[in-house]
Structure 1
Amino acid sequence: MATATQDTAGLGSARLRLASSVSVRPEAFGALLYDFRTRKLMFLKTPRLAAVVDLMDGALTVDHCLDAGGAPPGERAALLAVLDHLLGIGMLRHAPTPKD
């Protein structure tokens, strides 16, 4: 599993999804993520970040989610760092590889 300190360069090709224990509550500022297993609460502080996380169902790569969520090139490094952190604390998980 990735950690929050790992280089995020390879994260763009990963397929991620929310952990099954995590619930999302949309808010005007972005969203709240709550993990019922660990009782961790995370604030997604922008609507763009919330949109990107909302797209992560395991079918699309992180890069595709960033594109579909409207992430401009100048924000991608910061968004990847947040996604890497969410992966590191277990709120995001790697999705199973799709079978052809």
Structure 2
Amino acid sequence: MSVATTDLVFDADRAWVLNSSVALRPEPFGALLYHFGTRKLSFLKNLTVVEVVQSLPQHASATDALAAAGIADSDRPLYLNALAALAASGMIVQPS
């Protein structure tokens, strides 16, 4: 499934990883993401989203990561939108 963002189409059927310029710091509410290149700070307020983002490198696609996290098909659009927003801000990228 693809989700359109402003300049990018997030393709959930492709592999994604946390940008190497991004640090993820777990917090009781979820996590903080800090991009050292853009100095952008993002808050992940959903522990399942944090789990999915951390597991992305172990999966062939974002869709596989959602399935491994036990995300129901009916809930996937919510998580795909969250991942699309992270891709649009450069927090997650396709591996090179």
**TM-score of the two chains, using structure 1 as the length reference:** 0.81
- How far did residue 30 of structure 1 move? 1.4
The aligned residue for residue 49 of structure 2 is 49
Unaligned stretches of 5+ residues in structure 2: none
- How far did residue 51 of structure 1 move? 0.3
Task: In structure 2, give the amino acid aligned to 1:63.
Answer: T
- How far did residue 7 of structure 1 move? 6.0
Task: In structure 1, give the amino acid aligned to 2:67.
Answer: D
Task: In structure 1, give the amino acid aligned to 2:72.
Answer: P
SS of aligned partner of 1:60: coil
Task: In structure 1, give the amino acid aligned to 2:50.
Answer: A
The aligned residue for residue 4 of structure 1 is 5
Q: How many residues align?
A: 93
| Contact map agreement 1:58 1:95 (CA 8 A) in 2 | no
SS of aligned partner of 1:95: coil
Amino-acid identity (%): 35
**TM-score of the two chains, using structure 2 as the length reference:** 0.84
Task: In structure 1, give the amino acid aligned to 2:5.
Answer: A
Task: Tell me the alpha carbon deviations over residues 38-67 of structure 1, each in whole angstroms, 9 at most, x when there is no partner.
Answer: 111111111100000001117421011001
SS of aligned partner of 1:57: helix
Task: In structure 2, give the amino acid aligned to 1:4.
Answer: T
The aligned residue for residue 77 of structure 1 is 77
SS of aligned partner of 2:16: strand
